[in-house]
Amino acid sequence: MDQPAGTRLHPSGRLIPPELDEAMVRAVVESFYAKARRDDVIGPVFNRVIPDEEWPAHLDKITDFWSSMLLGTGRYRGRPMPAHIAIPELADPHFQRWLSLFRMTVEELCPPAVAALFVERAEVIGNNFRLRIAQFRGEDPHQLKLMRAGTRIES
Ligand code: HEM
């Protein structure tokens, strides 16, 4: 099917918002992880698992991840689930804070349609992680309530 000139399609068939590009993905990743590393809830987890010298490579990997998710570039070939299952202390307060900080970041840096896309995808992935972690730990996954990114938290 023909698409209007200048539009881009994600492999899923959805239109990619015209304002979204690699520079915006990179800016979101850098701003989010700068906040995340300083955060009192999720900072200690990131700073324990990722040594200082590995941060540049980690930011490149996460940029590839979001570029693949939202721009369909296919640059990320990793498996995020095992990386999270391997973090024993990971629990709902971490996911809630991660999603709130992420939402705050994309609302600061992106036009509303792009911010909504980031948030929607992060919520789906975050809830999948929670489900798989609960199964892995032998907890009852039916106890889980769907988590949303929630309201802005002021910095
Ligand atoms: C909620 C949505 C989340 C998304 C979309 C996400 C995404 C990712 C991705 C793509 C990776 C790279 C995995 C790889 O290929 O090595 C990663 C790694 C990591 N994530 Fe998340 N994550 C989320 C939640 C969290 C939370 C809540 C925490 C805890 C504070 C967390 C902590 C980490 C850490 C420490 C790593 C590095 C793991 C390692 O290198 O061993 N993530 N995340």
Q: What is the pLDDT of residues 32-54, one digit of tens each?
A: 999 999 999 999 999 999 999 99
Q: What residue owns the CA closest to ligand 1's atom 23? A: 126
- The whole-number average pLDDT for the span 63-71 is 97
pLDDT at res. 12: 84
Does some domain include residue 107?
yes
Q: Give the chain's domain count.
A: 1
Does some domain include residue 148?
no
For residue 69, the domain's CATH number is 1.10.490.10
Does some domain include residue 11?
no
Strand, helix or coil at 9? strand
pLDDT at res. 155: 47
Ligand 1 residue neighbourhood (C-beta within 6 Å): 42, 45-46, 49-50, 61-62, 65, 78, 80, 83-84, 87, 90, 94-95, 98-99, 122, 125-126
Does some domain include residue 105?
yes
Domain that residue 47 falls in:
16-139
Does some domain include residue 70?
yes
All residues at 6 or more sequence positions from 150 whose CB lies less than 8 Å from its CB, including other chains: 96, 99, 100, 103
Judged against a pLDDT cut of 50, whether residue 120 lies above it is answered with: yes
Does some domain include residue 154?
no
Judged against a pLDDT cut of 60, whether residue 154 lies above it is answered with: no
pLDDT at res. 11: 85
Classify residue 142 by its DSSP letter: G
Does some domain include residue 93?
yes
Global pTM? 0.93
Q: Are 27 and 109 in contact (CB under 8 A)?
A: yes
